[in-house]
Structure 1
Amino acid sequence: MSGLCGWVSTEPAALPVEDMAASFAGGRTPRCAGHGLGAVALAAGPEEASLYHQDGLLIVHWGERVEALARLWRTHGARACAALSGHFAFALLDERRGEALLAVDRCATRPLYWQMAGRSLLFASSSEALARHPGAGRELDAQAVFDYLYLHAVHGPGSMFAGQRRLAPGECLHLHGGRVERIRYWRMRYTEHAAEQAPHTELLDALSCALDAGAERTGAALMLGGGAAGTLLATLLQRGAADPLRSYAVGFGSGGAGMLARARAAARKAGSRHREQTITAGDAADAIDALIQACEAPCGDPGAVAMLFAARMAREDGCTHLHGAFGAAQLFGRGRYAGLARTNRYERLPAALRQLAIEPLLFGLGARLPGTFERVRTRIELSMAPPLARLRRRNPLLAYGWAAMFEPDFLELLDPELPAARQEEAWWLAQARSPANRAIDLSLQGDLPCRIVPAFAAACAASNLEPVLPFLDDAVVAMAARLAPRHKLGRGPRRLFAQALREVGAAQAAHSACVLPFGHWLQSDARLRALAYDSLSDLAGRRILRREFIDLLLARRLPEDPASHGQTVWRLMMLEGWLARARRDGFRRQPEQRQPEQRGAGRCGAEPDSAALVAG
């Protein structure tokens, strides 16, 4: 594991900065430095991160070219962030100016948390590290727990700990004149009417540029899933590598045979040294604890199991970095929210057919008929709703019912409408007009940096590997922003990648993803089922969920629909595991007390904290 942390304060230190770094140092001695404005600590290899300390300027920098950052800061101040490129996260403390700057890259591939504690600004790449500081506190945030179950991840600006804030993609925090200011130095701006002639060549050029940035690494390794993005990545990596590429694929029993076959064909065509592994329910049960220990927050993505086994194979072969094609689906219209941009197929039917035949049958004579008639009515009503209404109605928490799912005392501590309101705000704040680009921006602001990238990073960290995400390189992101919406709708992404694969002579690949059959494994494997029952039984004692809901979920809903309800069981198991790791017993209201004024917190731009919670 690796990370950075520290504080900006002129007051005496509350603890040694290396103690704050203990949660991510992994037994290594972190590099530490300090001056009159604060202190920093860094636990990472010298090729991944740097510690700069000259002329009163102290920088702990995850990324490359820390000297360039120092020059930009001296010349441009906080505007230096807009001139940076690549993947980075840094904290800069300038003793002479009395200023500090925290920032993350345009996709927030490295997290950075911060919190005001009196007149001190605390920061860390891990929320656990930040919570180790006595001024930060370890109260859990009930709103974050609800958001995790609603969104399948803890989306920014908060974290699982009350009072903490996380920098958003393309955001920096500037401390100057005794106050902090959140600045959005970059936002993705989409081109709605591009007239490109050969977008696949632009994609190849951008991806090649991203891979050239890491060309000095030897022995490249890739998690290969048999999809078009991974196949294209394998071909380009092998073409520019001095040593043979190592590729790894993970399948799930008989259902993953097709995916493994596609990955095998792609590896054969690319000429990589390929390994594959078929995992079972027992392997998934073994992986759960490793993911709980490695993840910064509860892991809402069951696909992290496959990531973990791919990382383990890479580590066994002596690799130090693992490439992944994550981000391609989100950038090019195949992500979780892609359905919001699709046109309503029902309205394509002739008006006479809809008004004279279908609607009188479904909503007239068959209005009260259950079964197939009810399902078709629901599908039509959902398809005709606005995009954000469709997104809300498809959320499983809405189907379960908040009152039936959560304890009343827990619901009083939060706003159940807040996650949907934040999604709506992100939708309308996107610098785009088309639904296709708005859906992409929704993924780039939340699902990608808060769920997918952390899952891959945690799987790599558990095997002491560094994750590499070429599709989130600045060149590829900029190319996706220029791409016309028609290439991100329907079969547009499939055609785009098919043309790129033909251009480089790679094997054609499918776009369909293989989903971990966690719910079906719960039904067939006694050990995994016992683990789930014990975990959810412990969770029921924390006064978050109603025990009646958990009993109904396991006894009736899971057998009826293992695919969807199995995902819910996974998220609840990971929540309980994380709470057990944090040694939290439950929630109760914190006694009312007058909070001390936080000096230097003006203009921070953060919304008020939700109710603080303490262990019960």
Structure 2
Amino acid sequence: MSGICGWMGYGGGAAENRRLAEEMGAPLARFDRAPLASIQRGRSAVAVAAAADQALLYQQDKLLLAVWGEVKLRDPELAEQARIHGAGQVLAARWREGAQQVCAALSGGFALCIIDEDAGETLLACDRMGTVPVLYQVAGEALVFGSSADVILRHPLTPARLDHQGLYNYTFFHMVPGPDTVYQNQQRLLPGEYLHFKRGKAATAAYWRAQFDEDGKRSMADLRQEFRAVLRSSVKDSMGGRKVGAFLSGGTDSSTIAGVMCEVAGKGADTYSIGFEAQGYDEMAFARIASRHFGTTHHEYYVTPDDVVAAIPQIASVFDQPFGNASAVPAFYCARMAKADGIGRIFGGDGGDELFGGNERYSKQHIFALYGRVPSLVRKALLEPAVFNMPGGHLINVVRKARSYIQQASVPMPARLETYNLLERYGAKEVFTADFLATTNSAAPLAGLVETYGRSEAKSLINRMLELDLKVTLADNDLPKVSKACELAGIEVAFPFLNDEMVAFASRLTPQQKLNGTKLRYFFKESLRGFLPDEIINKQKHGFGLPFGVWLQHHKPLQQLAIDSLTDLKARNIVRPEFIDQLVGHHLKEHAGYHGTMVWVLMMMEQWFQQRRAAA
């Protein structure tokens, strides 16, 4: 992994600070062996571990500036000044104009730090989509920061103290949503956010927010032409002069990226797919269709249960907090395959769903929202009494469905998205010990979701959901999943759909161009007809889902690892031993696919604990 770390307000001299910066930065290069460079003053330091074209360190008297990532200046005039004088000097000058100005000048995926000792201020920022993590912790008059919790914990002012609320949120969402982390007093910047620190006080603010033009008047033909041009530009920029490949699941996003890569390069791209010997999970046939259509050099690997057993401790070790998305395993094996072929960077199709309206829940919630358009008097006085008071209604299929529909439609957004939440279904009191629950707030996960959803200024339901997913589904879940899997494999990853120009283009599409009735990503698919194979455009969404619950029923080593992990978890006084026994002894046999998800989530929590102990 490459990354950034540092602090302000602590230290006794340049030599001491250099040693501490090197110690903090050691985890950043543990997989890719990236060189670590640092600059320091008497009571501050910053270090970046990255290849030369992804690291910027600049010092001007008592001002320290560092950037990690392939940052670009948005303004052509500033870009020209940077070419002549260096980006560090240009950004230092922008800093004098204010935090908002320096952040808004940047595009691409980046983490930025500016320490101004004369003014006693620090600025931290991450990119608009949150592709690069930035975490921080205030410790008295000092600020400690980094792109990973692992580096912050190495500073003497910020030792590890677990936050039980973070563990609860993890079990609820299967990841820990920002700005919170699994450690007390440690926070993560949200996408498009910066932190300003001065005299022991930290304040965050957004320098960028998603803005939707919901009344677009441009023709489909004009939009299609611009879309294809932006796609080509984004893919070309993401190549960065490296030998590149692409994940290929056979879905619309990965197939589009693979096809455009071939178009831009003028030859077949290297594409990589994962398959599973499990009914209902293998999508290799669609990946092969896309590969044949575009003429890619295709590489395949079938993940086995033994592969999963081998990967679980490694996956747990690469994440700096518990992470329960099982598709990190196939992503790792896919990235490892590309790395073995000499690929320096692999492209992910992440972001297409969240920009263009591709998730099934968008159409589902559209249908639920229709119920709210029925006049309240009709709903309360006629429909609901008729449906819920019908004698024997629970025995009639159509009535049961009507009751379920009304019950779900009556739940306000965004809580309606969590109607089938696994932890909620079990019940927190059934899952967690009383001691653990006494230190947590069971309402916090939904409250955080409501807060994020409420910040949206979009007028339409689809755009409000898209904006929510840019944070919760993408920045909190999918991007860390792919980035960490690639880090473990020792390969870079890029996300062409998250190019600033592409994000801006998608925001100008009308709600109906994203979700036309119940037709998902309408504009996207119509614009790519004739480019993508019809089989890809018309297929149902799937992805690299792992058949963990299926394999868990029959594969003894996988069963043993899961049981051993859950047995060890019992001793931590977090999850009730009785629940674990019920989960493994009864629920799993009842429905392996459904209950296997909770087995995975709890197993990865315990594996994360064990890997932290091993790392210490």
Structure 1 and Structure 2 fold alike (TM over 0.5): yes
Please, which runs of 5 or more residues in structure 2 have no aligned partner?
73-81
Q: Distance in 2 between matches of 1:358 and 1:108?
A: 44
Q: Distance in 1 between matches of 2:569 and 2:400?
A: 35
Answer whether contact 2:56 2:88 (CA < 8 A) is retained: no
Report the CA distance between 1:340 and its aligned residue.
6.3
CA 1:449–1:62 in structure 2 vs 1: closer, same or farther (change >3 Å)? same
Counting only pairs closer than 5 Å after superposition, residues 420-435 of structure 1 correspond to structure 2 as 420-435=446-461
Letter matched to residue 452 of structure 1: D
Using CA pairs under 8 Å that are at least 6 residues apart, name the structure with larger relative contact order, 1 or 2: 1
1:466 is aligned, of 485, 489, 492, to 492
1:260 is aligned, of 284, 288, 292, to 284
Aligned partner of 1:568 in structure 2 is 598
1:44 is aligned, of 50, 60, 64, to 50
Answer whether contact 1:337 1:442 (CA < 8 A) is retained: no
Q: Distance in 1 between matches of 2:541 and 2:493?
A: 23
Q: Distance in 1 between matches of 2:261 and 2:274?
A: 20
Moved more, 85-94 or 215-224: 215-224
Report the CA distance between 1:503 and its aligned residue.
5.2
Aligned partner of 2:40 in structure 1 is 34
Tell me, yes or no, if structure 1 residue 231 matches structure 2 residue 255.
yes
Report the CA distance between 1:73 and its aligned residue.
3.7
Report the secondary structure of 1:382's partner residue: helix
Aligned partner of 2:575 in structure 1 is 545
Answer whether contact 2:276 2:282 (CA < 8 A) is retained: no
Aligned partner of 2:470 in structure 1 is 444
Letter matched to residue 320 of structure 1: G
Answer whether contact 1:153 1:447 (CA < 8 A) is retained: no
Counting only pairs closer than 5 Å after superposition, residues 311-350 of structure 1 correspond to structure 2 as 311-335=335-359, 338=362, 341-344=365-368, 347=371
Answer whether contact 2:57 2:88 (CA < 8 A) is retained: no
Aligned partner of 2:78 in structure 1 is none
Q: Distance in 2 between matches of 1:115 and 1:2?
A: 20
Tell me, yes or no, if structure 1 residue 307 matches structure 2 residue 331.
yes
Counting only pairs closer than 5 Å after superposition, residues 117-136 of structure 1 correspond to structure 2 as 117-136=139-158
1:417 is aligned, of 420, 434, 443, to 443
Q: What per-residue deviation string (whole Å, max 9, x for no partner) do you get for residues 567-596 of structure 1?
A: 111111111111112239xxxxxxxxxxxx
Letter matched to residue 148 of structure 1: Y
Letter matched to residue 327 of structure 1: G
Q: What per-residue deviation string (whole Å, max 9, x for no partner) do you get for residues 33-71 of structure 1?
A: 212451112211112222223444322211235843641
1:513 is aligned, of 514, 521, 542, to 542
CA 1:215–1:361 in structure 2 vs 1: closer, same or farther (change >3 Å)? closer
2:174 is aligned, of 145, 148, 152, to 152
Q: Distance in 2 between matches of 1:382 and 1:271?
A: 46
Tell me, yes or no, if structure 1 residue 74 matches structure 2 residue 93.
yes
Report the CA distance between 1:558 and its aligned residue.
1.9
Counting only pairs closer than 5 Å after superposition, residues 454-603 of structure 1 correspond to structure 2 as 454-489=480-515, 490-502=517-529, 504=531, 508-509=535-536, 510-514=539-543, 515-583=545-613
Answer whether contact 2:238 2:495 (CA < 8 A) is retained: no
Report the CA distance between 1:250 and its aligned residue.
0.6
Answer whether contact 2:48 2:68 (CA < 8 A) is retained: no
Answer whether contact 1:340 1:390 (CA < 8 A) is retained: no
Q: Distance in 2 between matches of 1:279 and 1:473?
A: 31
Tell me, yes or no, if structure 1 residue 57 matches structure 2 residue 79.
no
Q: Distance in 2 between matches of 1:71 and 1:296?
A: 33
2:115 is aligned, of 76, 87, 93, to 93
Counting only pairs closer than 5 Å after superposition, residues 175-214 of structure 1 correspond to structure 2 as 175-176=197-198, 179-198=201-220, 199-214=223-238
Report the CA distance between 1:348 and its aligned residue.
11
Report the secondary structure of 2:601's partner residue: helix
Counting only pairs closer than 5 Å after superposition, residues 267-278 of structure 1 correspond to structure 2 as 267-278=291-302
CA 1:88–1:289 in structure 2 vs 1: closer, same or farther (change >3 Å)? same
Q: Distance in 1 between matches of 2:284 and 2:509?
A: 31
Tell me, yes or no, if structure 1 residue 402 matches structure 2 residue 428.
yes
Aligned partner of 1:587 in structure 2 is none
Report the secondary structure of 1:187's partner residue: coil
Report the CA distance between 1:359 and its aligned residue.
6.8
Report the CA distance between 1:202 and its aligned residue.
3.5
CA 1:460–1:196 in structure 2 vs 1: closer, same or farther (change >3 Å)? same
Report the CA distance between 1:488 and its aligned residue.
2.5
Q: What per-residue deviation string (whole Å, max 9, x for no partner) do you get for residues 289-337 of structure 1?
A: 2211212222221111111111011011001101010111122222475
Q: Distance in 2 between matches of 1:495 and 1:517?
A: 30
Q: Distance in 2 between matches of 1:124 and 1:480?
A: 31
Q: Distance in 2 between matches of 1:441 and 1:320?
A: 31
Moved more, 343-352 or 55-64: 343-352
1:221 is aligned, of 242, 245, 250, to 245
Letter matched to residue 23 of structure 1: P
Q: Distance in 1 between matches of 2:553 and 2:436?
A: 30
Q: Distance in 2 between matches of 1:396 and 1:257?
A: 21
Report the CA distance between 1:280 and its aligned residue.
2.3
Aligned partner of 2:27 in structure 1 is 23
Aligned partner of 1:287 in structure 2 is 311
Please, which runs of 5 or more residues in structure 1 have no aligned partner?
585-614
Report the secondary structure of 1:214's partner residue: helix
Letter matched to residue 268 of structure 1: R
TM-score (normalizing by structure 2) = 0.88
Letter matched to residue 527 of structure 2: A
Answer whether contact 2:363 2:519 (CA < 8 A) is retained: no
Letter matched to residue 300 of structure 2: E
Moved more, 324-333 or 497-506: 497-506
Q: Distance in 2 between matches of 1:393 and 1:261?
A: 33
Aligned partner of 2:77 in structure 1 is none
Answer whether contact 2:242 2:344 (CA < 8 A) is retained: no
